[in-house]
């Protein structure tokens, strides 16, 4: 059975949370929250920024704000750039920021390659074809880039210990998933306690390992072991990236939510209330796992 059929079998519920203003750490936050409000650190997609991600999530945030189920905080990516030619209107207002850069140029840039997605028998094969061969030095540059981004996130988390969840869109989902795997690695190597207890992935791509390569379920034993909610559109031309990420997560705590749309963030209609309920359900599952 093709993996795309997975999306036909799931519909779930979720809710919404409050947002915030930027501080010196490029994080936007909100005070006066309930003690049990789940606070999420948000990572925008490529060629975007924290303010625009906040606008994209505003309807869901308003829904979750009704009972203070969750709160969103947003970071800005470090790399400035421009949208690919011809699709500027899809990326909102600048400044345009991205999390990752492997030094590739022209048609070798990931943002250019995804416009012509390869085909394959499963999501993992498609991701391998998309990854392809990187230009000389690109792997090391991406590895250094990933480490710098992780260091910045860890500094932000240290200053904001109340944050226990992550939410990402597209490239930001890849980063959020990569963070969870890196926390697992760090705990195993140093004993450092993990901070992130759940995650919301809106579309996305498989996580990156510390060597900056895709983590794929048929190549690696690494698993995202916290409750996760995967918001995917059955009509998303890049849905195999999100499905490859889903396959890296614990099947007992990972949930697919099909918006029936494309590579977009839900912003109106009944789906917002349903999505809000799904977020609440995931938070409830997270809380039940962390109670001693």
Q: What number of helices (H) and strands (E) belong to the chain? A: 7, 10
Distance (Å) of CA 150 to CA 78, 131, 167: 11, 21, 15
Q: Respond yes or no: is residue 170 known to be catalytic.
A: yes
> Are 205 and 171 spatial neighbours (Cβ–Cβ below 8 Å)?
yes
Q: Give me the catalytic one of 170, 173, 178, 217.
A: 170
DSSP string, 49-69: -HHHHHHHHHHHHHHHHTTT-
Distance (Å) of CA 290 to CA 82, 195, 253, 268: 42, 12, 14, 33
215 C-beta neighbours (distance < 10 Å), count? 25
In degrees rounded to 5, what are phi and psi of residue 52?
-70, -35
Q: Which residues are catalytic?
A: 170
């Amino acid at each position: 059975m093709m993996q795309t059929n997975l999306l036909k079998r799931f519909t779930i519920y979720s809710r919404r949370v409050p947002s915030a203003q930027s501080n010196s750490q490029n994080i936007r936050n909100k005070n006066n929250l309930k003690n049990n409000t789940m606070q999420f650190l948000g990572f925008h997609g490529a060629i975007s920024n924290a303010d625009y991600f906040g606008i994209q999530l505003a309807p869901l945030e308003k829904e979750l704000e009704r009972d203070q189920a969750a709160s969103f905080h947003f970071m800005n990516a470090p790399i400035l750039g421009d949208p690919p030619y011809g699709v500027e209107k899809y990326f909102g207002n600048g400044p345009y920021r991205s999390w990752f850069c492997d030094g590739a140029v022209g048609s070798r840039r990931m943002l250019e390659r995804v416009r012509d997605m390869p085909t394959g028998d499963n999501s993992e094969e498609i991701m391998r074809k998309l990854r392809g061969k990187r230009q000389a030095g690109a792997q090391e540059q991406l590895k250094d880039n990933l480490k710098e981004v992780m260091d910045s996130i860890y500094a932000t988390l240290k200053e904001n210990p109340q944050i226990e969840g992550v939410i990402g869109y597209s490239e930001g989902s890849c980063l959020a998933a990569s963070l969870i795997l890196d926390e697992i690695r760090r705990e195993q190597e140093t004993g450092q306690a993990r901070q992130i207890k759940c995650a919301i992935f809106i579309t996305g791509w498989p996580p990156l390992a510390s060597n900056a390569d895709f983590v794929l379920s048929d190549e690696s034993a690494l698993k995202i072991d916290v409750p996760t909610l995967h918001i995917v559109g059955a009509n998303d031309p890049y849905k195999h990236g999100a499905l490859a990420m889903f396959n890296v997560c614990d099947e007992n705590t990972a949930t697919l939510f099909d918006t029936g749309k494309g590579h977009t963030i839900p912003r109106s209609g009944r789906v917002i209330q349903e999505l809000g309920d799904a977020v609440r359900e995931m938070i409830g599952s997270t809380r039940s796992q962390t109670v001693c």
